[in-house]
Structure 1
């Protein structure tokens, strides 16, 4: 019996395949992680690595830039749960998320490429910042502002400067610090050093 005769509605288009999407994302990250620049990255190479056709990619992403942004955004783990019991504990949790991500070789390589090609691919950088970085910054800002209100931090604290000191120190360790310097104790050490100047 045909679909028309049975009265069953035919689904519009092919169903989205989570398996295919995951393969495409992983292929994109693998190629960038191997040192392929965004400019040199091609849909053909991604399709070949993922084992799919180019049309499968174009059904999901209209251009390479959108695909790269979505792929990079998947590398940012969800925001860690913040207990809210103390500013110190919550800031350590946020830095621990940064530390664990930076300890992955592919993550380091991908972030280096994104940062080095920021001027050539502003749209990718802007969208990546919006989707993957800004949520972390907002969370850190909220924790610091809460600390000012509760009296855990100085009332005259410059919030932006506090954020820069904390995240900038972690970034220095992940990019330019001694090899193997991303110890589990690092987030706690950074926060305690920062709080020495930020506490009342």
Structure 2
């Protein structure tokens, strides 16, 4: 899996304007096929082209291969990365934790749980997932490091473990619906406040 490049790097025929409508149709076709049960392995450029109503050449002018196309489609599914205001470590963490496992596209409920075993089976798919999720981890790291620098959080804080403590409960609840009686609206605050009790400087 070597073609993990953003859409902007995709080759394009000179002199031909890029169609936003075609881009949208292609991304939508990928998400529809995944939501209908197609695996990453089974997903083909041919199937995407047929569903989108475009030729394969149209796709290859925009994306160098299936992996780059998948990456853009899954980024769309994940939505825009939350941007903390930077005023309060707690408030920033509530914002970021609330975004974990949250997708505005209803197809995500069918797609994301099915991707988990594929990511675990394939090193290439695992790397694709890491490339999508790492920008979100980077933002949370920055918030936690800021909290350490300002003295709000413990100086000996293990940043990576702290991120796991904060994101784990949200992932299991939203991906697995682990406890149906938990209030999803209150859970980010409850998780952050519970974890911060152990992370705060004494």
> For the superposition of Structure 1 and Structure 2, which TM-score range results when normalised by the shorter chain?
0.7 to 0.9
C-alpha distance in 1 between matches for 2:57 and 2:49: 9
The offset of 1:99, in angstroms, is: 4.7
User: Does the CA-based 8 Å contact 1:73-1:128 persist in structure 2?
Assistant: no
Distance 1:79 1:180 in 2: 28
**d(CA) in 2 for partners of 1:84, 1:179:** 33
Distance in 2, matches of 1:60 and 1:120, equals 28
How far apart are the structure 1 equivalents of 2:123 and 2:181? Answer: 32
- The structure number with the bigger radius of gyration is 1
- Give the count of matched residue pairs: 188
1:23 CA drift (Å): 0.6
CA distance in 1, matches of 2:14, 2:102: 42
Deviations 1:116-157 (A, max 9, x none): 112554334313422x21111011111111111111111222
What are the ranges of 5 or more consecutive residues in structure 2 without an aligned counterpart?
Answer: 1-12
Moved more, 88-97 or 40-49: 40-49
Which has the larger displacement, 144-153 or 41-50? 41-50
Q: Does 2:143 correspond to 1:149?
A: no
Runs of 4+ in 1 over 6 A off after TM superposition: none
- Return the alpha-carbon distance in structure 1 between the equivalents of residues 189 and 26 of structure 2: 37
Report the equivalent of 1:108: 109
How many Å separate the matches in 2 of 1:104 and 1:22? 14
Using structure 1 for the length normalisation, give the TM-score.
Answer: 0.84
Deviations 1:78-104 (A, max 9, x none): 222312111100000111222532x75
What RMSD in Å do the two structures reach over aligned CA positions?
2.1
Larger displacement relative to structure 2 (24-33 or 57-66): 57-66
Alignment correspondent of 2:83: 81
In the alignment, structure 1 segments of 5+ residues that lack a partner are 1-10
TM-score, reference length from structure 2: 0.84
